[in-house]
A and B are shown apart, each in its own frame.
Chain A
Amino acid sequence: MPEHAVGTREEWLAARKRLLEEEKQLTRRSDELARERRQLPWVPVEKEYTFETNEGTKTLPQLFDGRSQLLAYHFMFGPSVEGWPEVGCPGCSYTADTLDVAVEHLPHRDVTFVAVSRAPLEQLEAYRRRMGWSFPWVSYGNSDFNLDFAVFTEAGRRTGTGFNFDTPKHADIDLRNEELHGLSAFALEDGVVYHTYSTYDRGTDALNATWQLLDRAPKGRGDDFEGWPRRRFEYPDGA
Chain B
Amino acid sequence: MAEHRVGNREEWLEARTALLEREKELTRRSDELARERRELPWVPVEKEYTFETDEGTKTLPQLFAGRSQLLVYHFMFGPAYSAGCPTCSAAADTFDGGVVHLNQRDVTFLCISRAPLEQLQAYKRRMGWSFPWASSAGSDFNFDFGVSFTHEQQRDGADYNYRPVRLLAILEAGVAPEAIESIAADVGTDVAGYLTELPGLSAFALEDGAVYHTYSTYARGGEFVLGFYPFLDRVPRGRDEDDPPENWIRRHDEYGDA
- The answer for the CA separation of A228 and B103 in the assembled complex, in Å, is 11
Total residue contacts A-B, CB cutoff 8 A: 308
Question: Is the interface on chain B under 10, 10 to 19, 20 to 34, or 35 or more residues?
Answer: 35 or more
- Could you tell me if A41 and B6 are in contact, using CB atoms closer than 8 angstroms? yes
Query: How far is the CB of B25 from the nearest CB of chain A, in Å?
Result: 8
- Could you tell me if A41 and B105 are in contact, using CB atoms closer than 8 angstroms? no
| Majority SS at the chain B contact face | mixed
- Could you tell me if A2 and B230 are in contact, using CB atoms closer than 8 angstroms? no
- The answer for the CA separation of A186 and B33 in the assembled complex, in Å, is 32
Does residue B30 face the partner (Cβ distance < 8 Å to A)?
yes
B69 partner residues in chain A, CB cutoff 8 A: 217-219
Query: How far is the CB of A16 from the nearest CB of chain B, in Å?
Result: 6
Does residue B77 face the partner (Cβ distance < 8 Å to A)?
no
A203 partner residues in chain B, CB cutoff 8 A: 20, 23, 27
Interface-located stretch among A48-56, A107-115, A139-147 = A107-115
Q: B-facing mask of A196-211, CB < 8 A → 1, else 0?
A: 1111001101111110
In-complex Cβ contact of B19 among A12, A17, A37, A209 (8 A): A37
Does residue A221 face the partner (Cβ distance < 8 Å to B)?
yes
Does residue B238 face the partner (Cβ distance < 8 Å to A)?
yes
- The answer for the CA separation of A229 and B98 in the assembled complex, in Å, is 11
Does residue A155 face the partner (Cβ distance < 8 Å to B)?
no
In-complex Cβ contact of A213 among B1, B15, B68, B98 (8 A): B98
Q: B-facing mask of A216-239, CB < 8 A → 1, else 0?
A: 111111100000111010010011
Within 24-61 of A, Cβ neighbours of B (below 8 Å) are at: 24, 26-27, 29-30, 33-44
Query: How far is the CB of A144 from the nearest CB of chain B, in Å?
Result: 14
Query: How far is the CB of B183 from the nearest CB of chain A, in Å?
Result: 16
Does residue A122 face the partner (Cβ distance < 8 Å to B)?
no
In-complex Cβ contact of B40 among A15, A37, A106, A219 (8 A): A15
In-complex Cβ contact of B227 among A27, A202, A209 (8 A): A209
User: Counting chain B CB atoms within 10 Å of each CB, which of A111, A185, A195 scores highest?
Assistant: A111
- The answer for the CA separation of A67 and B96 in the assembled complex, in Å, is 27
Known pairs A40-B16, A97-B98 / 10 extra A-B pairs, C-beta < 8 Å: A2-B212, A4-B41, A6-B43, A19-B37, A38-B236, A69-B237, A98-B97, A109-B248, A165-B20, A187-B2
24 CB contacts below 8 A, A to B, read A4-B41, A4-B42, A4-B212, A6-B44, A7-B42, A9-B43, A16-B40, A23-B33, A33-B23, A33-B26, A34-B233, A37-B234, A102-B93, A107-B258, A185-B235, A187-B236, A197-B234, A202-B24, A207-B230, A209-B95, A210-B102, A213-B102, A218-B212, A229-B101
Instruction: Mark A residues whose CB is within 8 Å of B.
Output: 1-2, 4-9, 11-13, 15-17, 19-20, 22-24, 26-27, 29-30, 33-44, 67-69, 71, 94, 96-111, 113, 152-153, 165, 183, 185-187, 189-190, 192, 194-199, 202-203, 205-210, 212-222, 228-230, 232, 235, 238-239
Instruction: Mark B residues whose CB is within 8 Å of A.
Output: 1-9, 11-13, 15-17, 19-20, 22-24, 26-27, 29-30, 33-44, 68-69, 71, 90, 93-98, 100-102, 104-107, 109, 161-162, 201, 203-205, 207-208, 210, 212-217, 220-221, 223-228, 230-240, 248-250, 252, 255, 258
